[in-house]
């Protein structure tokens, strides 16, 4: 195979994948009215995706805020007054760090778990068994995970935003002699509620990406244990890449008003 053929084949396969992901999404949306009646499945997934991810998110976000404080203080040196520390931490956490880092760690955890579970079900014929019981795997497996992820990701992101800011505050207060009044008045200075909403809109999409990639790669698993491993890896890699790409696209759309003046 020469270089052109290789590139051409790679693009065809990728395009085919994109098409199949959209088909999966469309077919899953069609099952929503029926899937919503099985609310216990959605609640179960909300527990796994949301509540189960909390310990990881707590640690990630506290340290994210703490690092943001240290790095911001380092860059401020003696040029920028420390009362802007809260401003910088608040903005960067709410707009970017909170939604994206939460999505990346949850994507690793939940995306992998979904792909491994569905992949194992696929290779052990459990997905076929569902179909023989006249149960649609899209309705029974995919839809609850998708709905739970798009609901829970914004919720845990909000939680992560709060913890990251508190993490930053503790470092500033305990390690840099920044008083709580200075920190929080700085935080309020340029604080826009719309920044928080925009961050949450992003995490809504990130939740959809994580569930879709986990389910898509899980349901297309082939072979045995090796196949499950490959599916899990693909789910994590593709959701991380898509989160970062989507982050850029959404930033360009959501925050357009600001940088266009």
Partner 1 sequence: MASDSEFIKVVGVEKSFGDNMVLRGTNLSITRGETLVIIGRSGCGKSVLLKHIIGLLKPDRGEVFVNGTEVTALEHRGLFELRQKFGMLFQSAALFDSLTVWENVGLGLIEHSDLSTEEIKSRASEKLALVGMRGVEDVKPAELSGGMKKRVGLARAIAMDPEIILYDEPTTGLDPIMADVINDLIRNLKKTLSITSVVVTHDMTSAYKIGDRIAMLYEGQIIYEGTPEDVKCCGHPVIQQFVEGRAEGPIPAL
Q: Enumerate binding residues for partner 1 (CB under 8 A).
A: 27, 38, 117, 121, 124-126, 128-136, 140
Closer residue to partner 1 in complex, CB, 109/122: 122
Residue (of 116, 104, 47) closest to 245 by Cα position: 104
Kindly state the smallest distance separating residue 197's Cβ from partner 1, in Å: 36
Residue (of 72, 62, 87) closest to 170 by Cα position: 62
Residue (of 254, 252, 246) closest to 103 by Cα position: 246
| C-alpha dist (Å) from residue 183 to 73, 74, 77, 80, 81 | 12, 16, 16, 14, 11
Closer residue to partner 1 in complex, CB, 17/27: 27
Helix intervals (H) in the chain: 3-35, 39-49, 54-76, 85-92, 98-106, 112-123, 126-132, 137, 143-175, 180-189, 193-219, 225-254, 256-259
* Displacement of CA 67 from its chain's centroid (Å): 21
Kindly state the smallest distance separating residue 138's Cβ from partner 1, in Å: 9
Asked if residue 111 lies in contact with residue 53, where contact means CB atoms within 8 angstroms, the answer is no
Kindly state the smallest distance separating residue 153's Cβ from partner 1, in Å: 23
Closer residue to partner 1 in complex, CB, 82/126: 126
Burial (CB < 10 A; 0-12, 13-18, 19+), residue 63, is middle
Closer residue to partner 1 in complex, CB, 119/167: 119
Kindly state the smallest distance separating residue 199's Cβ from partner 1, in Å: 34
Give helix 98-106 / helix 193-219 axis angle, nearest 10°.
20
135: left (phi over 0), alpha (psi -120 to 50) or beta: beta
Kindly state the smallest distance separating residue 38's Cβ from partner 1, in Å: 8
Closer residue to partner 1 in complex, CB, 133/257: 133
Kindly state the smallest distance separating residue 224's Cβ from partner 1, in Å: 12
CA distance 107 to 248: 17
Kindly state the smallest distance separating residue 139's Cβ from partner 1, in Å: 9
Closer residue to partner 1 in complex, CB, 148/209: 148
Residue 223: CA atoms inside 13 Å, Cβ hemisphere, count? 8
Closer residue to partner 1 in complex, CB, 31/87: 31
């Amino acid at each position: 195979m020469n270089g052109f053929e290789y590139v051409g084949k790679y693009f065809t396969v990728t395009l085919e994948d994109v098409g199949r992901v959209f088909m999966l999404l469309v077919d899953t949306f069609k099952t929503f009215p029926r899937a919503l009646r099985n609310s216990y499945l959605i609640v179960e997934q909300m527990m796994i995706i949301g509540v189960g991810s909390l310990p990881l998110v707590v640690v990630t976000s506290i340290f994210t805020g703490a690092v943001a404080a240290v790095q911001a203080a380092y860059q401020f040196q003696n040029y920028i007054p420390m009362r802007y520390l809260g401003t910088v931490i608040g903005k960067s956490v709410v707009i970017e760090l909170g939604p994206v880092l939460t999505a990346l760690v949850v994507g690793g955890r939940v995306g992998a778990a979904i792909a491994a579970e569905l992949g194992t079900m696929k290779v052990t014929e459990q997905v076929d068994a569902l179909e023989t019981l006249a149960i649609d795997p899209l309705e029974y497996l995919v839809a609850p995970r998708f709905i739970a992820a798009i609901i829970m990701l914004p919720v845990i992101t909000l939680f992560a935003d709060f913890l990251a800011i508190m993490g930053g505050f503790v470092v500033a207060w305990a390690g840099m002699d920044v008083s709580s009044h200075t920190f929080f008045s700085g935080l309020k200075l340029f604080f826009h509620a719309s920044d928080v909403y925009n961050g949450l809109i992003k995490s809504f999409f990130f939740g959809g990406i994580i569930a879709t990639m986990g389910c898509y790669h899980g349901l297309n698993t082939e072979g045995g244990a090796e196949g499950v491993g490959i599916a899990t890896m693909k789910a994590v890699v593709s959701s991380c890449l898509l989160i970062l790409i989507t982050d850029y696209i959404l930033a360009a759309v959501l925050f357009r008003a600001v940088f266009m003046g």
